[in-house]
Amino acid sequence: MAVRIGFIGTGGIAGAHRKALAQIPKAQMVAFCDADEARAKAAAEEHGGTPYTDYRAMLSEARLDAVYICLPPCFHGEFEDAVIEAGLPFFIEKPIDVDLARATATAAKIAAKGLITGVGYHWRHYDSVDWLQTVIGDQPIGLALGYWLGGTPGVWWWRKWATSGGQMVEQCTHITDLARWLLGEVTAVYAQYNLYRMHEKLEGLEVADAGTATLTFASGAVCTISTSCALEGVGQVGLDVHFGGKVAEIRGGNITIKGGGVEAFTNKALLNPTVREDTFFVDAVDGSGDPTLIRSPYPEALKTLAVTLAMNESARSGQVITL
């Protein structure tokens, strides 16, 4: 069955989903809403749909089966409310919000309507991560080290706490989410941040350009996650997971296992994780697929948001935050 999809937000990440959905024959991209009319028109011209600048008009006219919400982190709440009110399943980009109370309220409304949702935590969807889980099996993970070390994102909304939530909430959320996927629930968080370099280069920059958080998991595992947005032309993004005398170095879809007395081995993801997450979502919407294949429905992403916002709270208060 064809699944008629509308977009709210047609910027950078919407482009990645448009490319992925174009590879899924039943996914019909029929409507594109953006506050920037030229962007909405360009997307509509490419895929043959209708451009909108008013999402309410799109929701009432476009006969949609599902919506992709691809907005900056601060623009959440009213869009989700309207989509939920229309009874439509939706896929939303991470971070789902910068306000935990608002996101918690959204989760309750989704539950009340029993809607299918998906969130763009694509690291959970690398087939190499599936492989790693089978390798680890029941072995306890004692330690994990996560990093999102790189440059400063160019989008305007990234510079302010109120519009992006800062780097732990924004890009580095992928690493916290992957740590939760592999290690389980987080019970306590302690973080320290610094603003040491980029404020000299970017006027009005508020968010920290360096930070480290320590996480404790219910399993007893401990994990550090560090960010830097102050590097130039160099970076490191990933998670190192220690188990059974070995370390698995996860770098996007490439996972190298070292140690344990055996030769290092690298498993490279064969599947595009964005196509995979979009396929699971679209198949769940038309009823041909199992909704439990969606690895990050909204309530799951809410838990990751709670952990990353707890990092901010800890960095501000100097306290360990218990979850």
Q: Which is nearer to ligand NAD, 14 or 110 (CB)?
A: 14
CB of 93 to ligand NAD, least distance (A): 3
In sequence order, the β-bridge partners of residue 306 are: none
How much helix, strand and coil, in percent to the nearest 5, is found in the chain?
40, 25, 35
Contact 9, 56 (CB under 8 A): no
The correct pick among 22, 35, 188, 231 for binding ligand NAD (CB under 6 A) is 35
Nearest-angstrom CA–CA distance, 304 and 281:
19
Q: How far is CA 4 from CA 15, 90, 287, in A?
A: 17, 12, 14
Write the burial class of residue 251 (CB in 10 Å: 0-12 exposed, 13-18 middle, 19+ buried): middle
Q: Which is nearer to ligand NAD, 15 or 299 (CB)?
A: 15
For ligand NAD, what does the binding mask look like between residues 201 and 230, x meaning CB under 6 A?
------------------------------
CB of 219 to ligand NAD, least distance (A): 26
Any idea which residue has 């028109």 for tokens?
41
CB of 114 to ligand NAD, least distance (A): 25
Give, as ranges, the residues between 134 and 173 that touch ligand NAD (CB under 6 A).
155, 170
- Burial track 14-52 (b if 16+ CB lie within 10 A, e otherwise): bebbbebbeebeebbbbbbbbeeeebbbbbbeebebbbb
CB of 2 to ligand NAD, least distance (A): 25
The correct pick among 5, 44, 64, 70 for binding ligand NAD (CB under 6 A) is 70
Give, as ranges, the residues between 4 and 33 that touch ligand NAD (CB under 6 A).
8-14, 33
Question: How many residues make contact with ligand NAD (CB under 6 A)?
Answer: 24
Q: Which is nearer to ligand NAD, 8 or 129 (CB)?
A: 8
User: Would you count residue 71 as binding ligand NAD (CB under 6 A)?
Assistant: yes
Nearest-angstrom CA–CA distance, 72 and 171:
12
Residue 314 token pair:
């800890």
The correct pick among 27, 31, 83, 93 for binding ligand NAD (CB under 6 A) is 93
Binding positions for ligand NAD, rule: CB under 6 A: 8-14, 33-36, 39, 70-73, 75, 93-95, 120, 122, 155, 170
